[in-house]
Chains A and B, each alone.
Chain A
Amino acid sequence: MRDLGIKVLFQGINFFRLLEGLWVTVKISLISVVLSALLGIVLGMIMTIQNPVIKAVTKIYLEFIRIMPQLVLLFLVYFGITKAFGIHLSGELSAVIVFTLWGTAEMADLVRGALTSIAKSQYEAALSIGLTMKQTYFYIIIPQAMRRLLPQAINLVTRMIKTTSLIVLIGVVEVVKVGQQIIDANRLTAPSAALWIYGLIFFMYFIVCYPISILSRKLEKLWSS
């Protein structure tokens, strides 16, 4: 019975269908990652401005997004916004909106942390040797901030890919959904398919995320000295 199950993985185009499903997941995370990186850098820089109103607004945004489970945010957008405004949002679009909102909050906090970690003396030293403000940022501040930011930002990418697994719960046809279809289609011929399919999906996620985690760790070690 067990060897019948594993055959399902290689029957026909099953394996390719799973890969296609995985691509949907990765694509949605990549789009959200790019959008969050851009918006997060801008928001992070805004957050360093010393203004009580800006501080309060960004803090509320950050706290709310980060304290809510991502699945709740998905429900809020997918079910809540569609009903409140009477518009139809596809699962994919809702996912991109939610992960961008969440990723921007996380990214902004990393950027703010990296920028404020640079000692004031660095600015002063740069200005005292006659660099302009623009030069100070380009040659002194940004290179140092990058070293702190990049490992953590790459780590955020793996978190976003893992979190994207939730979108099956709002009806997006991605790798888990394809897996469920294959399991259902082979329920009679290969009853143990679920074990192999979910096992394979587990390793697919691992193979996508593991190299990214290693890269993040390597960079952190390289730049920590």
Chain B
Amino acid sequence: MDLGFIQKYYPLYIEAGVLTLRIAIIGIAGSFVVGLLTSLIRYYKLPVLKRIAGIYIELSRNTPLLIQLFFLYFGLPKIGIMLSSEVCAIIGLIFLGGSYMSEAYRSGMESVGAGQIDAGLSIGLKKHQIFWYIILPQAISVSVPAFAANTIFLIKETSVFSAVALADLMFVAKDLIGLYYRTDEALLMLVIAYLIILLPISAAFSLLERRLRYAGFGN
């Protein structure tokens, strides 16, 4: 183990970690939006759109992100659609994450009893009011564990971005191994970098889940 080597090259990991996090944040935020839209379409059973959302969810959940990225990055340019690796990474993450988030919203929405919707209607709320004030708040609090699991899953999935030439943490580690043959140091920094990113998020989510358990409605 060469500490000098670590001291010299750890800034590369910080840079790559920031890039990974930036793309993860945009991708995960996009996943929440896509997930909400598709789960709404499925919850209210909108014709035609319901079908499309269903097909999208099955395609996205049953294929690996790496292949989705390869298709976006190497396949699409052949029909004239050129995307930078960063854009590919964001689109890929949203395509993958949208379906996972959609399922999370859906299980939350389905947990809200029909009686509550009837009660809302009977006091004269409109359909969209019932959604915003009755269904969504309860659905979100029920779905928090699933959201947390999905968020961590999506951050982990960002590790495949190096395959479409994005200079992320894996990319830097592989570079250092290839250039200097400093496998131990490169891998150690890689593991530490992911621990620094993922441990606090994982701990924060378990705290949040514990607090939300007290905030259960109805029972």
Contact = CB atoms under 8 A, between A and B. Distances in A.
B64 A205 contact: yes
A176 B64 CA distance: 12
B78 A158 contact: no
B59 to A, nearest CB: 6
Contact of B67 (A70, A71, A165): A165
B5 interface: no
Interface residues of B, number: 39
A204 to B, nearest CB: 9
Contact of A83 (B71, B76, B183, B194): B183
A199 B66 contact: no
Interface in B150-182: 152, 156-160, 162-163, 170, 173-174, 177
A72 B17 CA distance: 14
Given A70-B156, A192-B78, A195-B78, A75 B71 contact: no
B51 interface: no
Contact of A206 (B63, B183, B194): B63
Contacts of B22: none
Contacts of A194: 74-75, 77-78
A222 interface: no
Contacts of B184: 80, 83-84
Contacts of A72: 159, 170, 190-191, 194
B83 to A, nearest CB: 13
Interface string B77-114: 11100000000000000000000000000000000000
Contacts of B77: 194
B202 to A, nearest CB: 6
A77 to B, nearest CB: 10
A202 B61 contact: no
Contacts of B177: 79
Given A80-B184, A198-B75, A206 B62 contact: yes
A2 B62 contact: no
B198 interface: yes
B59 A206 contact: yes
A71 B187 contact: no
B79 A2 contact: yes
B10 interface: no
Interface string A172-198: 000010000001000000011111111
B159 A69 contact: yes
A205 B75 contact: no
Contact of B202 (A67, A80, A163, A213): A67
Contacts of B195: 67
A191 B183 CA distance: 37
Interface string A46-80: 00000000000000000000011111100110011
A199 B71 CA distance: 6
B70 interface: yes
Interface of A: 2, 5, 67-72, 75-76, 79-80, 83-84, 158, 162-163, 165-166, 168-169, 176, 183, 191-199, 201-202, 205-206, 209-210, 213
12 contacts: A67-B194, A67-B195, A67-B198, A69-B159, A71-B159, A72-B159, A79-B183, A169-B66, A183-B74, A195-B78, A202-B63, A202-B71
**Closest 3 A-B residue pairs measured CB to CB?**
A69-B159, A165-B64, A209-B62
Given A183-B74, A205-B67, 20 more contacts: A2-B79, A67-B198, A67-B202, A69-B157, A70-B156, A71-B170, A75-B174, A79-B183, A165-B67, A166-B160, A169-B160, A194-B77, A194-B78, A196-B75, A202-B67, A205-B64, A206-B58, A209-B63, A213-B58, A213-B61
